[in-house]
Amino acid sequence: MTYAENILETIGNTPLVKMNKLTAEIDALVLAKYETFNPGNSVKDRMALKMLEEAEAKGLIQPGGTIIEGTSGNTGMGLALAAIVKGYKMVCVMSDKQSKEKTDILKAVGSKVVVCPTDVAPDDPQSYYSVAKRMAEETPNSWYVNQYDNLANTKAHYESTGPEIWKQTDGKITHFIVGVGTGGTISGVGKYLKEQNPKIKVWGVDTYGSVFKKYHETGEFDENEIYPYVTEGIGEDIIPKNVDFSVIDGFTKVTDKDAAIYTRKLAREEGFFLGNSAGAAAKGLLQLKEHFEKDDVVVVLFHDHGSRYVGKMFNDEWMKKQGFL
Ligand code: PMP
């Protein structure tokens, strides 16, 4: 018999799927690392489990304790599944811009959800960063995960996502492209791939309203780059410790409108029913097309599932209201 001992053992080993129609104008082979096949439907299951295992090993949380995290939804889902299997309580602190589906899904798997305003500075006491930190200080036997600065996040991708991509492409990968939020995915995968072959180019996809691209190009943290945006999962108003700029060759920025439109195109032209950051990554990939040559093997990583966005990017009324349709 072949079976997993529990749901956490099914994390990872996701497929690579060739893109065909949407990338027709690109000569290179374009492959999607399809992370929604993880049990929590996102890449974040990998780092959620790794961060919890490290915390347990360091004695930061005891049996029956409470995991507290500020999350745009996917890390919370990964942590919630791990909490169920391992016997912890889960509290997710989210900003009010995240889709309703994400809060509903977290509640469905038994997580407590606290919603905070998006439109405040990170150090404002009402921000989801501050509220998560404060709740952890006030809750006995609790552990504040802090995916932004917890380096087990990057390590998970260095140990699993990166080696999988290298093996699945027989070491032929030439470019890696991915959306950047905490930076764990790009930094872990990028570091592993560049250690195997330093010629591999690693590109981040950023959003308008986020600091990454300018910071990478100038070393300047420019507050003028920060303003509210619609795209979910990528971009930041802080520089998380998990972003390792030394393994990133460049960033491209994608507009909210293009990210939303390409989320829909992925579903309708490739049959890839994926999240909003996948749309941003797909458009980012097309913006970078002059960097690719005929025999290149380009891997783009898609983070999560389309079901989390049916009330937003997949909803015509919502799209019209945003002025995107
Ligand atoms: N896309 C989605 C949907 C996400 O939830 C996240 C995590 N915030 C990202 C992209 C960015 O991944 P990372 O945090 O590893 O940079």
What is the CATH classification number for the domain harbouring 22?
3.40.50.1100
Cβ atoms within 10 Å, residue 294: 8
In short, whether 154's Cβ falls inside 6 Å of ligand 1 is: no
- Predicted-assembly ipTM surpassing the 0.95 threshold: yes
Q: Which domain holds residue 175?
A: 7-37+152-322
Domain boundary pick from 120, 144, 168:
144
Residue that is written with structure tokens 């917890």 in the block? 150
- Domain-embedded: residue 309: yes
Instruction: Based on the residue annotation, tell me whether 44 is a catalytic residue of this protein.
Output: yes
pLDDT tens digits, residue range 63-88? 999 999 998 789 999 999 999 999 99
In short, whether 180's Cβ falls inside 6 Å of ligand 1 is: yes
Domain boundary pick from 117, 144, 171:
144
Torsion sign across C-alpha atoms 91, 86, 110, 51: positive
- Domain-embedded: residue 157: yes
Residues 310 and 209 in one domain: yes
Nearest to 48 by CA among 28, 23, 69, 25: 69
- Domain-embedded: residue 283: yes
User: What is the domain count for the chain?
Assistant: 2
The two beta strands, 297-302 and 175-179, are parallel
Mean pLDDT by 10 residues, the chain (325 residues): 98 98 97 98 98 98 96 93 98 90 94 93 91 95 96 98 98 98 98 98 98 98 95 95 98 98 98 98 98 98 96 97 97
Residues 158 and 304 in one domain: yes
The two beta strands, 29-34 and 16-18, are antiparallel
Region for 135 from its dihedrals, namely left if φ exceeds 0, alpha if ψ lies in -120 to 50, beta otherwise:
alpha
Altogether, the residues listed in the chain come to a count of 325
- Domain-embedded: residue 2: no
In short, whether 72's Cβ falls inside 6 Å of ligand 1 is: yes
Residues 318 and 263 in one domain: yes
Residues 184 and 313 in one domain: yes
Residue 122: the pLDDT is 87
Residues 134 and 186 in one domain: no
- Nearest-CA residue for atom 1 of ligand 1: 233
150 neighbors 51 (Cβ within 8 angstroms): yes
Active-site pick, 33, 44, 50, 283: 44
Residues 18 and 156 in one domain: yes
**DSSP one-letter code for 22:** T
pTM of the full predicted structure? 0.96
Find the 1 Cα to ligand 1 centroid distance in Å.
Answer: 35
Question: What are the residues facing 130 on neighbouring strands?
Answer: none
